[in-house]
Amino acid sequence: MQYRRDYTAGASYFFTVVMLRRLPLLGSREAVTILREAIRAKKARRPFQIDAMVILPDHIHALWTLPANDADYSIRWRIIKRLFTRQIEPIKCPAVLGSRQHKGEQAIWQRRFL
């Protein structure tokens, strides 16, 4: 599948970010707190506006507006996912198999966002 993404500086974007295999890893207060801290940390370094966000046990819906001179939402999501993943207890994470293991990835998030 070929993905085509719009990268318009200052635009608003809607995202759906999904946990791998739809595991309900965001179903606890602790996980939501970790996610919020990851988002705060990223916003402090690369600002963006959250217009709306819904956190469900197995996925996130978000509407963001980026600064007028910036269109790089991909790096923001990458770092947010990384910061969240580092804080999750390894016992809660699924086993890393196949190409994810080869690429040094964790088995928490689906690779792309919609």
Report the pLDDT value the prediction gives residue 57, as an integer from 0 to 100.
Answer: 97
Per-residue pLDDT tens over the stretch 10-21: 999 999 999 988
The ranges assigned to domains in the chain are: 12-113
Report the distance separating Cα 36 and Cα 56, nearest Å: 13
Per-residue pLDDT tens over the stretch 19-71: 988 889 999 999 999 999 999 999 999 999 999 999 999 999 999 999 999 99
Which residue is listed with tokens 């923001």?
76
- For 11: left if phi > 0, alpha if psi spans -120 to 50, otherwise beta; the answer is beta
Q: Give the pLDDT band (50/70/90) at residue 100.
A: very low
Which positions ≥6 away from 33 have C-beta within 8 Å?
none
The token pair at 49 is 């506006």
Task: Return the CATH number of the domain spanning residue range 12-113.
Answer: 3.30.70.1290
